[in-house]
Amino acid sequence: MPTLILPLILACFSLLLMAALGGSPAFAAPQVSLEAPATVARGDAFVALAVSNEPVQSFSFKWMGKNYAATAYAGEASTGAEKKWQAVILLPVPLDAKENDLTLAVAPITGQTGGKKPVAAGQAATQNIGLYNKDRPVQQLTVDKKYVDPPAAQMERIKADRELVRKTLAQYSPERQWTLPFERPVSGDVSSLFGLKRVFNGQPRGLHRGLDLRGAEGTPILACADGKVALTGNLYFSGNVVYINHGEGVFTAYLHMSKVLVEKDQVVRKGDVIGLVGATGRVTGPHLHLSLLVQGVSVDPQPFIPAAESSEKKAPSSANQPSKAPKKGK
């Protein structure tokens, strides 16, 4: 009996001593790997994948001076295989990004402090990413004069529209509901590429921050992914619109509709009909303007949607899933 009691006494004493000294039993720090493309075009978004060999609550991605959180999910593990915790996130590269080379870093988050601050554990993984330019042609368009030089009476409305969109995109839902590839919202070909330098009625204006898809008036428009309707309404330049929050900082916007068929806060599924193609707002004719907004930045949607049935060709892009052509971080 004494030989059994002595080890128990020593173990208890060790635990008490550790508590008195503020120590804790040693746990293995998570080891994290990172996959992301080696190069990304300005104006594109890209997929980053983080994987941990130990349980983690989430991952914190640091990109272009900002931190983005992504919830971790336990990966499927076959019998005898090591279980993994992973997260996928979309990150943007603005059209006007000045840098040529950037570093993406990811750290595992294992919990929160009493003040609700995230607790990072383990060493961050990093990945160097080079930026390059795509060709951005100039597009000449003729529209109603009121959309080039809006009447003074409309300026307050235009300002209010912009603020409404800003507040909509500031909403954040931590749960990722999107999956790739997105649903193609209409079957028509591309009529105007993302990032074009636009000239309206001979006057240079901003870059085209969306993708225009051909469609006859009344053509059904499909939701690109699961999500919740964040905004519907009529905006001066955009006409009848629907914005969908897909979670984890990803939104899609559908502009110039003839009719909106969903309501704010309505839950939609990938492929649901949300409206009809139209010619409302600043347009030259019926079409769908599709915007993809990632972490508040407008990026090119084209790499994330299937090609049109007419075998529309897409430029090479950095938007493919990293598992297809990854470059592993350190």
pLDDT at 18: 46
- Residue ranges of domains in the chain, CATH in brackets: 28-134 (2.60.40.10), 138-304 (2.70.70.10)
**Locus of tokens 């080891």:** 31
Give residue 305's identity as a one-letter amino acid code. I
- The residues of the chain scoring below 50 in pLDDT are 1, 8-9, 12, 15-26, 79, 113-115, 311, 313-327, 330
Instruction: For residue range 165-191, list pLDDT tens digits in order.
Output: 999 999 999 999 999 999 999 999 998
CA 113 to the chain's CA centroid? 28
Tokens standing for residue 77: 């593990």
Exposure of 94 by Cβ count < 10 A (0-12 exposed, 13-18 middle, 19+ buried)?
A: middle
Tokens standing for residue 253: 């916007």
**Locus of tokens 């006494």:** 9
Instruction: For residue range 20-79, list pLDDT tens digits in order.
Output: 444 444 456 788 999 999 999 999 999 999 999 889 999 999 999 999 999 999 876 554
pLDDT at 3: 53
- Under 8 Å between Cβ of 95 and 195: yes
pLDDT at 292: 98
pLDDT at 176: 96
Cα–Cα dist 244/241, whole Å: 10
